[in-house]
Amino acid sequence: MIGAGIDAGSRSIKAVLCDADQGRVMASGIADQGVEQQRLATDLFERVLREAHVERDQIAGIVATGYGRNRVPFAHTTITEITCHAQGVFHLAPDARTVIEVGGQDSKVIWLEAQGRVRDFEMNDRCAAGTGRFLEVVAARLGVDLPTLGDLSRASLQPALISSTCVVFAETEIIGLLAEGIARADIAAGVQTAIATRVAVMAGRALSLPVYFTGGVALQPGMVQALEQALSCPVRVPPQPQFTGALGAAILATRLRH
């Protein structure tokens, strides 16, 4: 039985095909999000089908999740990204008890029960200062791309203090730090520390171990270390963390009954 998951995030669209009988991912793909989301999602889905040599009528179910899940016309149903990320991480790491997901426009802390069900969650979707969008803004201000921003943070000797809780004011603060001659590496590390600190505030003292970090921001060099320092515990990253939402959606799609 084959299930398809489409994670229509705010910055990118991810697609995964999962073979439930063999417990494996057959194919996956990613594309930048845009104004023509329906076309972009459809094109990506068709590309993933071709790569897996699968016909659409072989798909048992299609689940859409993420920021734009209601704009995926070929999905059979939609499921929240909270549930899908929990399911995707649990499939890859059954020992997971806390999932941290930092996406393009929001961040989440999800607590899991032993069987991967969501026990509770906290979500910040009111300000971009704790999200991947913040990193994009900072990278543009520092004149580098996102991968370079992560590498840059590794050279920091003293992370800069970024105190603003709003991305607009934080950008102004960064301009001021640059004017003061603060090293770009210290600013990059300071931004990562600021994001990690906001996640730690959401998590509070109710953190259950092990902790897994997922979403596209988990690929950023330096972010795992920043989270570990903010949370005072080890943080693990599952394979291909940008796909865990789509993977969870694909797994749930295999359980649909039409």
* Torsion angle (degrees, nearest 10) of CA 92, 95, 98, 101: -10
Q: What is the pTM of this model?
A: 0.91
pLDDT band (50, 70, 90) for residue 257: low
Burial 57-80 (b: 16+ CB within 10 A, else e): eebbbbbbbbbbbeebeebbebbe
Share of the chain above pLDDT 70, in %: 96
pLDDT value at 63 more than 90: yes
**Average pLDDT, integer, range 148-171:** 83
The lowest-confidence range among 77-81, 217-221, 223-227 is: 217-221
Inter-axis angle of helices 81-92 and 244-253, to 10 degrees? 90
Q: What is the 3-state secondary structure (H, E, C) of 70-105?
A: HHCCCCCEECCHHHHHHHHHHHHCCCCCEEEEECCC
pLDDT for residue 66:
94
pLDDT band (50, 70, 90) for residue 223: very high
Highest mean pLDDT among 102-116, 210-224, 241-255: 241-255
Predicted confidence (pLDDT) per residue in 25-46, tens digit? 999 999 998 889 999 999 999 9
pLDDT value at 258 more than 60: no
pLDDT for residue 138:
87
Q: Which two structure tokens, joined as six digits, stand for 242?
A: 């940008």
What residues are paired with 4 via a beta bridge? 17, 62
pLDDT value at 189 more than 60: yes
CATH number for 1-93+242-258: choose from 3.30.420.40, 3.40.50.300, 2.40.50.200, 3.90.800.10: 3.30.420.40
pLDDT band (50, 70, 90) for residue 165: low
The lowest-confidence range among 17-21, 48-52, 74-78, 168-172 is: 168-172
Is the domain 96-237 a CATH 3.30.420.40 member?
yes
Domain boundaries, the chain: 1-93+242-258, 96-237
pLDDT for residue 91:
95
User: Residue 165, Cα to own-chain centre: how many angstroms?
Assistant: 20
Predicted confidence (pLDDT) per residue in 118-141, tens digit? 999 998 855 655 677 888 888 888
Share of the chain above pLDDT 90, in %: 65
pLDDT value at 51 more than 70: yes
Let me know: does 193 contact 220? Beta carbons within 8 Å.
no
* Torsion angle (degrees, nearest 10) of CA 101, 102, 108, 111: 20
Give, as one character, the DSSP assignment of residue 1: -
Closest alpha carbon to 198 in 245, 141, 128, 118: 128
Q: Is the peptide bond prior to 210 cis by the omega test (within 30 degrees of 0)?
A: yes
Q: Which two structure tokens, joined as six digits, stand for 73?
A: 């016309």
